[in-house]
Homo-oligomer: A and B are copies of this chain.
Amino acid sequence: MLDAKRLFPVEGAARAVAVKLYAVVKDLPIISPHGHTDPRWFAENAAFPNPAALLIQPDHYIFRMLYSQGVSLESLGIPQVDGKEQADPREVWRIFAKHYYLFRGTPTRLWLDYTFENQFGLTERLSPENADAYYDLIAQKLGTPEFRPRALFEKFNIEVLATTDSPLDTLEYHQEIRDSGWKGRVVPTFRPDAVIDAEYAGFLDNIAKLGAMSGEDVGSYRGYLNALRNRRAFFKKLGATATDHGHLTARTADLDAGAAEALYQRILSGSSTAAEQELFQAQMLTEMAGMSVEDGLTMQLHPGSVRNHNLKVYEKFGRDKGADMPSPTEYVRNLRPLLNKYGNDSRLTFILFTLDETVFSRELAPLAGHYPALKLGPPWWFHDSPEGMMRFRETATETAGFYNTVGFNDDTRAFLSIPSRHDVARRIDCAFLGRLVAEHRLDEAEAFEVVKDLTVGLVKKAYKL
């Protein structure tokens, strides 16, 4: 059984404030401006196949932990590159239940307990003993109309949900959703890594496709930029309000036209060096900022993830299998070229994320507390957790304030975890504000304004939703 006051300060005065604050945001709609759910779910509205396929196999937080303790990815039925193996979903579920104790103290445990109780009415802690009963009940529910994607979307009280999409995506499922008459708002996000990062699998083919889809001549840098403009406009037409960029570093550059064209030709040649590829990514961040000034799409940067760290896992299972690792990330010097060009322009909203928490007080809050274009994204990935979110507020607020932040992102592939993730975020914000009020650093009346802004106001403004 979940406790109604979980995650609030234990001390009475701060807790009392947190309880009151939570009461006003608990039932506000969910704004999910950044995530990785599949638009096809909402287009086709088919039943989810089984508990393992819904709750375990898409969730790298879960299977990375199991893997770290010697559970093979094969036994969990994680899809392989060659498509060969499969695992019995009930067996997968039993393995998961047997190792549920591994998640003690992790946010995954909080999200799952919330999901079990609130979506399925399961209040006894998952264990090897009740694994089959859990499985049967969840499987049964998934067959009912109430558990179809659109019904869940509505039940979750989602006002808007953004997916993340390749610029080469036809957005057919997004089109289908719009054409269907269903009133749920699902919007795409323009994520052009596949045509900007020359190390991306199939990069040159991707560029060719980009040319074909946009009707632009991508043989020149100017044509390539116009092709990106064209695809941005297409995304915007289908509801997109933002772009997203996943780079290894936060490096930016501002080359003159000749140097940029020459660099693009080197990239197109297929024989560019790692240094040239990195510089090209740096240049493209600045170009993307410029296009955001033009078309108004909010820009997001997610740097610092060393992708596919485990070669064997990558070769057998492919990308996004829990083997991406954070690395130290520098922003102050790296962002300077872009910021000197566009940082003072209030038409640009540029949201920064990090996997390196040390930068919140040292770099990100000082930057966001000065540049009109900059805002701080919520704690990302490994830091989307009670302690991580609290550290974010503690290290960023004093320099950037609340109003240079943009509310919460769930950033998830696990659809059922969305309400639980937003609930944790709201509780931690209430806990933080509760302490500020109890320590007389903020008036209670102001805290009520702030908590609503953190839950709905700031995210709508930053993402123009």
Contact in complex: A309, B332 (CB < 8 Å): yes
Given A397-B106, A404-B69, the answer on whether A363 and B310 have CB atoms closer than 8 Å is no
Copies in the complex: 3
Contacts of A327 in B (CB 8 A): 330, 332-333, 362-363
Contacts of A2 in B (CB 8 A): 440
Looking at A70, A125, A332, A366, the one whose CB has the most chain B CB atoms below 10 A away is A366
Looking at A322, A383, A394, A399, the one whose CB has the most chain B CB atoms below 10 A away is A399
Stretch at the interface among A89-97, A167-175, A201-209, A335-343: A335-343
Contacts of A371 in B (CB 8 A): 68, 310
Q: Total interface residues on A, using CB and 8 Å?
A: 91
Contacts of A13 in B (CB 8 A): 10
Contact in complex: B449, A101 (CB < 8 Å): yes
Q: Is A216 an interface residue (CB 8 A)?
A: no
Q: Is A306 an interface residue (CB 8 A)?
A: yes
Which residues 335-365 of A sit at the B interface, judged by CB distance below 8 A? Answer: 336, 339-340, 343-344, 346, 355-358, 361-363, 365
A257 and B205 CA atoms in complex are apart in Å by 38
Contact in complex: A10, B398 (CB < 8 Å): no
Q: Is A367 an interface residue (CB 8 A)?
A: yes
A322 CB, min distance to chain B CBs, angstroms: 6
Which residues 280-335 of A sit at the B interface, judged by CB distance below 8 A? Answer: 306, 309-313, 322-323, 325-328, 330, 332-333
Chain A 436-449 interface mask (CB, 8 Å, partner B; 1/0) = 10111111001001
Chain A 377-399 interface mask (CB, 8 Å, partner B; 1/0) = 00000110111100000110111
